[in-house]
Amino acid sequence: MPPISDVVSADHALIKKAFNGLVESDPTRPRDATEFIWTLGRFLIVEDLVVTPALEHHVARGGEAHCRVSDYDSVNAMLRHLQQLDTTEDSFEKQLNIAWDELELHLAPEVVADLERLEESMAWPDADGLGTKYERIRDLLQKPYGKEGVPDAETLAAILQTPRQELMLRIGVFG
């Protein structure tokens, strides 16, 4: 059973790889942003369903709310906007870089600060079980989309627009 910090770090690496692949592709030709948007979107969904509740339960002190850059609704809105842009336009490149700048502030410190504190605050089997739960929910979201695991644009838009509670019901996660 992997610790939660390991599985989240692996997802961070996938997000960075998808971002780099998109940035390094020829900006004068139509580019497919679906892999980056889906990799990040899937991460945000799983983080919202697994990591955020665990942090609120095990780490938050005295009602102190965690300031999380990966707020599900705001980043999801950014992803929906990014998905609708023409990848050959300068506005796409600008929005992509804005999104990445915001994410970079979140990705590295998350493992070092939040997840290490979370693992320290949980008993050993619970901390490893959280990593397994994360992987299980991530895999539920991955399965229907073929070998590469990236949905087509229409399916991706539908997933990103589905309200959190409805999405939880659809994938069989009830809290």
| Measured distance CA(72)–CA(94) in Å, rounded | 21
Confidence band of 32 (pLDDT split at 50, 70, 90): confident
* pLDDT at residue 144 in the model: 61
Residue 88's pLDDT band (cuts 50, 70, 90): confident
The tokens describing 138, both together, are 């991530």
Contact 168, 174 (CB under 8 A): yes
Q: Is the pLDDT of residue 26 over 90?
A: no
Written as six digits, the tokens of 3 are 């610790």
Say yes or no to pLDDT of 5 above 60.
Answer: yes
Predicted local distance difference test score (pLDDT) of residue 67: 46
Tens of pLDDT, residue by residue over 46-84, are 888 888 888 888 887 544 444 454 466 777 788 888 888
> Total structural domains in the chain?
1
Residue 16 has pLDDT above 90, yes or no: yes
Reported as half-sphere exposure (CB side, CA atoms, 13 A), residue 149 has a value of: 16
The pLDDT value given to residue 69: 41
Sequential DSSP letters for 21-59: HHHHS-TTS----HHHHHHHHHHHHHIIIIIHHHHHHHT
pLDDT in tens, 99-150: 888 888 777 777 777 888 888 888 777 777 899 889 988 887 776 665 567 7
At residue 54, what are phi and psi to the nearest 5 degrees?
-65, -40
Three-state SS sequence of 91-105? HHHHHHHHHHHHHHH
Domain residues for the domain of 155 are 4-171
pLDDT score for 19: 93
